[in-house]
Chain A
Amino acid sequence: MPVRTLIVNGSKRSVDAPADETLLSVLRNRLDLTGTKYGCGEGQCGACTVLVDGRATRSCRTAVSEVAGSKITTIEGLASNGRLHPVQQAFLDEEAFQCGYCTSGMIVATAALLATTKNLSEEEVVESLNGNICRCGTYPRILAAVRRAGAAMAKETRQ
C-alpha cells in the first residue's frame, strides 16, 4: 500500500492506506483519532464531520486519496494550548449533549459555520446543521450553544 502524507491537526502524518479507504477509517483506525465518530457511513448523520481546509466535510464519504495535502482538523485539534475552542466551551456551558456521541460532529460543523459568519439567523443555523443527527434530541440546547458561541466569537473578533 502506498504511504500517504496527511496534515492532521497541524502535524504531518504518514499512513499506509489504500486510496479508497475513507478518511474516517484512517483517522479512527490508523491514527487513533477516535473523537470523530461513525454513525451511518452514508453521510446522513454528521457524526463523522471534520474540517478539510476549513470546510465541514463528511469523513465517512471522503476517500483518503482526496485529501492528501489538505489541512484536516478533527475535534481533537480544535482546542489550543488546553483552551477550549469557543464552540466547545459553549457546548459545555449549555450542556448541549446527553450521550455525547454526536457532539464531536456537531461542534466541528458549528465551528466551520461560525468561522465565516457569526450572526446567523436561527433558520440559517437549522438549515446548516440539519444534516447532523442528535438522537437524544438536544437540538434546542445545541441551537443555544451555537448562539452563545457566535456571540463569544464575535466578541473575540472585535477585541
Chain B
Amino acid sequence: MNWLADPEKLLRELSEHEVAGRLHWFDFDRRRFLQILGGGVLVCVAAPAVPASGQESGKSRGAASELPKDLAAWLHVGADGRVTVFTGKVEIGQNIRTSLSQQVAEELRVPVASIEMVMGDTDRTPYDMGTFGSRTTPTMAPQLRGAAARARELLLDAAAERWKTDRSSLAAEDGKILDRAARRTISYGELTQGKELIRSIEAPALAEAKDWKIAGTSTAKVNGRDFVTGAHRYTSDLSRPGMLHGKVYRPSGFKAKLVSVDISAAEKVPGVRVVRDGDFVGVVAADAFSAEKAVSAIDGKWNVPPQPSDQELFDYLKKNGESGDHGRTQTAGSVGEARARADVKLSSRYTVAYIAHAPLEPRAAVAEWTGEKLTIWTGTQRPFAVKEELAVAFHIPAERVRVLVPDTGSAYGGKHTGDAAVEAARLAKSAGKPVKVVWTREEEFTWAYLRPAGVIEIESGARKDGTVVSWEFHNYNSGPAAIGTPYAIANQKIEFHPVDSPLRQGSYRGLAATANHFARESHMDEIAHALGMDPLELRLRNLKDERLKAVFQAAAEKFGWGKEKPAPGHGFGIAGGVEKGGYVAACAEVAIEGRTRQAAIHRVVQAFECGAVVNPNGLRNQVEGAIVQGIGGALFEAVGFESGRISNPHFSQYRVPRFQDTPQIETVLLDRKDLPSAGAGETPLVALAPAVGNAIFAATGTRLRSLPLAPSGVPAAPA
C-alpha cells in the first residue's frame, strides 16, 4: 500500500497509533549546516504532501527552485567523499540502518561503507513522526533514493562542467565520475571540494529493482561488529560526566493515590538524595546499587481504587464497547438476508489477551540539563513526540529539548512514549546533575503499555460450494488494523468497537492485525470443516487477490499441503492474509504431547511477499523472528492482572518463546521486482497464531478460540 497515494489509509493508520495530527516546522539553516559539515553537495528532500491532519513530515512541497521549509531527509556528500544521510527514523533491530544505506548506495553509486546514517536526533535530523507501521521502507526509502539520485546527477553536472565535456559521455560509479572516452576519473570528494552545491530535490528517475546491484542483495548489517563485541552503546550503557543513577518509587497499583510515605530509611543510604514532588517520589545516587537500595527502603501507603481483573476482562470489554457508526463500520450488501439463505451458518467468539512487548532492553533514558536546554538519550520509536512530551512536561519551548536515540534494544511498538525520559529529566532537574534511569524488568512489565486485549465475534454464512456469502465481524477493543476481510464476500458488516481499556494499552508489532487474522482465519477454517472442504481450497475459492493467492500457494507447495499426511497426534493448519502491503501465508505442523497435552509446533513454512526485496537476508531474519515472536502470543503469553496490579511481571511467570519452543522454520520469499517495496517488520507475525490454532483442531478436534491457545496444554477432545 502506498500511504501517500491513499491518505485516508494513512490517517487511519496514524489514529491507531494514537498520534495526534500536529504540524511541525523544522527550522533549517543551510549555511549553518554546511559550516558544520564543510563544503560539499547537500540535497534536501521536501516532505511529501499529505492531508493537514495527518502530517508525516511537514506541510507542502516547495517549488523545485527553492529550498523547502519542511524537510523529510537530507543527504550530504563531503570533500572526503563521505556520505552522510540524515533521517528521523530510528534503528530498533529491524535493520533499516542497513537497508536504507543500501538504497542510498544504489542511487548514489557509492560503497555502502562510505555512508553514515545519522538517525533519530531531533537537533540534527528533520522532523519525523516516528518509526512504526512498517512505513520506513515504503515512505522514507523512496525519499532517500530520490535525494541520492539527485546528488549523483549534480555530481555528473559538476564533472561535465569541470572537464568541459558532454555530460552524456560520463558515468557515475563507485564514488567516482568516469569519462571512459578520455580515460579519466574524479572522485566525488574531489568534485565537491570547496564548493557548496545545495539543491532541493526534483525526483529524478530511480533505478528499477530489476537493475539493482546493491539494493536487493544480502548486505551485512552495517554496524554488526559492534554488537558481537559489546562495543555498541545502547541508552542504558551511556554515561555523562557527573551522572547520577535514578530510581522512581512506584505505586502499589494502577491509578493509586499516595496516602503517606516514609522516606527516612532511604535517606540514610549513603550518597542518596530523595526527590519528592506530590505523588512522585524518586531517588538519585552516585551509583546504581545505592539508588536501588534506597528506593526499596521507601515505605508508602497507597490507595488503589477497585478495578477489573483478568477473570472478568472479556465480559467487561463486550459490555463497554462503543457502538454506532463513527466511521468505524464497513458494510456491503445485506448480511442478514444473505445469511438466512446460506447452507451453513456459523457463529463464533474469539478472544485475545493483553500481552507485553517485553523488549530485552527495558525502557531507559539519560537526561542532562545544560542551563535551560534539556538533552535526552532514550530508546524510543518517536524521538520528536518524546521531545514534545518533555517540552510540555517541563513547560519549556520544544526547541530547548534535544532527543537522541541510540540504536535500541528492540521495541516492537512498545517504545512510542517517553516515560523514562520524563522521569530522568525530572530527577536530573532536581539533582542539578545528569541522571540515568533504567527500568527493571518488573517495572517494564508493569508500567509500560500492553498490546490491547480484545473480543471478536463473527457470524457467517456459506453455500455448499464453498462460497462465503455473509460475513459479520465485530472487534471490541483490540483494534481496527486488518479488520477488513481479503476474501471477496458480497455481504459484509465489519465494525470496530473501542473500549476504555482497563489497562494501559497501545501500539504493538502488527497492531490488531494479529487478533483480526486469528479470528478471521480460524473462522475460515471452521467454515471449511463445516462444509467438509479442504481449508486451502475454501480460501482460494473466495479469493480474488492474486498476490494473496500466490503466497497461499507458495506456502502450501513448500509444506506439502494436501500431499503429506500428519503423523498420529499431529495436525496441519494453514492461514494467511494481507496487511501494510505485505502478503503472508503460513502452514504449521503441531503435535500434542501425550501426557502433558502441551502443543508443540514442529514445523512452520511461511511465504511472504512485500514487493521488491531490498535485503533478502535481512528480510528472512525479520520473517523468522516474527514467527518465533508470534509463538508466544499464539500459545502462552498473557498478562495477568487483579485489583490494579500485574500478577506475572517476571520472565519466570510470563513465558516468552525460548530455544526449546522454536520449530523448524522454512521461509519462502516471493521477490516482486515489478512492485514497490513494502515494510516487513510486522505482517510476517499475523498468520502464525491462526495456522497453529487450525493445526491444533486438525490434531485433536478441539477448536480453541482464545489467544493464547494453550498456556497449560490443549484440553482433551470432547467425548
Contact = CB atoms under 8 A, between A and B. Distances in A.
Interface of A: 17-18, 21-22, 25, 28-30, 32-42, 44-45, 47, 74-76, 78-79, 84, 88-89, 91-92, 95, 97-104, 107, 125-127, 129-143
8 contacts: A37-B236, A40-B441, A42-B650, A45-B360, A79-B229, A92-B228, A138-B624, A142-B659
Contacts of B656: 133, 135
Contacts of A140: 624, 628, 662, 665
B230 A137 contact: no
Interface string B331-364: 0000000000000000000000000001111100
A151 to B, nearest CB: 18
B232 A100 contact: yes
Count chain B CB atoms within 10 A of each CB in A21, A36, A45, A136 and give the residue with the most. A136
Given A39-B360, A133-B360, A44 B629 contact: no
Count chain B CB atoms within 10 A of each CB in A34, A104, A127 and give the residue with the most. A34
Given A41-B440, A75-B229, A140-B665, A99 B650 contact: no
Given A92-B228, A136-B93, A137-B625, A38 B220 contact: no
Contacts of A79: 229
Contact of B92 (A39, A99, A107, A141): A99
Contacts of A137: 624-629, 631, 657, 662
- Identify the 5 closest CB pairs spanning chains A and B, nearest first: A35-B230, A137-B628, A99-B93, A101-B409, A100-B227
Contact of B227 (A17, A103, A130, A139): A103
Nearest to A135: B360
Given A34-B230, A103-B228, 12 more contacts: A29-B245, A29-B288, A39-B362, A41-B440, A76-B231, A97-B228, A99-B92, A100-B407, A103-B227, A136-B93, A143-B659, A143-B662
A88 B225 CA distance: 9
Contacts of B221: 95, 97
Contacts of B621: 95, 98, 138, 141
B624 A130 contact: no
Contacts of B470: none
Contacts of B227: 97, 100, 103
B538 interface: no
A140 B631 CA distance: 14
Interface of B: 92-95, 220-221, 224-234, 236-237, 239, 245, 287-289, 358-362, 407-410, 412, 438, 440-441, 617-618, 621-622, 624-629, 631, 650-652, 656-660, 662, 665
A95 B617 contact: yes
Contacts of B409: 37, 99-101
B158 to A, nearest CB: 38
Nearest to B238: A34
Given A44-B651, A101-B409, A18 B361 contact: no
A44 B224 contact: no
Contacts of B95: 98
Nearest to A103: B227
Nearest to B230: A35
B408 A99 contact: yes
A34 B237 contact: yes
Contacts of B665: 140
B209 to A, nearest CB: 22
Nearest to A40: B441
Given A28-B237, A88-B229, A126-B659, A40 B650 contact: yes
B451 to A, nearest CB: 14
A119 to B, nearest CB: 18
Contacts of A133: 360, 651, 656, 658
A85 to B, nearest CB: 9
Contacts of A41: 440-441
A75 B629 CA distance: 26
A95 B204 CA distance: 34
A91 B94 contact: no
Contacts of B359: 99, 101, 135
Given A34-B233, A45-B651, A135-B656, A91 B361 contact: no
A135 B438 contact: no
A1 to B, nearest CB: 9
B331 to A, nearest CB: 38
A111 to B, nearest CB: 11
Nearest to A18: B289
Nearest to A33: B230
Contacts of B92: 99
A73 to B, nearest CB: 12
